[in-house]
Amino acid sequence: MAPKHHPTPLSGGDRKALAKELGRSRAMTTILAGQAAEARAKGEALIRQADKLLCEAFNERLWSDGGPINPSPAIDQALNGGYPWLEIECSRCRTKRDVDLAGLRHPPTTFVHDLASRLRCSKCAKANRRPPATLLQLAQRPRQAAPET
């Protein structure tokens, strides 16, 4: 955007006053932009903390009540809250596995509890069975992989 043109006044006093007001305006612009950036950073930190607390509350409800809990955090809320992994268990063979929420092909607004019916066990799929997965918890990091024998 082109800067606004202010016609230069003819008298010297008016020119000085205009230059002074333009300087004040530019200084206020810098100050207000800095305050806006601070407020945005604080707001984003608060949203991140709220998403983290939502994920922790979901894990507690999931542990105490069992089964998929509605409402649950959305995928983007879980990622923003620092819980990018979902621990699931096959309802048939009891194989536990970690799912990277960032790698799923679902919209980021999909709720975590909706994933329970969509995630399937790859081990049972080889035996032509497709049992649904059971949600265990949201996790900040994947579990240690068990050594395969």
Kindly give the confidence (pLDDT) of every residue in the chain, 149 residues in length, as a single tens digit, with 9 standing for 90 and above. 566 766 776 677 887 888 888 889 889 999 999 999 999 999 999 999 999 999 998 888 888 877 667 788 999 999 999 999 988 888 788 888 888 888 888 888 888 888 887 887 777 777 777 777 888 888 888 776 544 43
**136 phi, psi to nearest 5 deg:** -100, -55
d(CA 123, CA 127) in angstroms, rounded, equals 7
Tell whether omega for the bond before 71 is within 30 degrees of 0, i.e. cis. yes
pTM of the model: 0.71
pLDDT digits (tens, 9 = 90+) for 37-69: 999 999 999 999 999 999 998 888 888 877 667
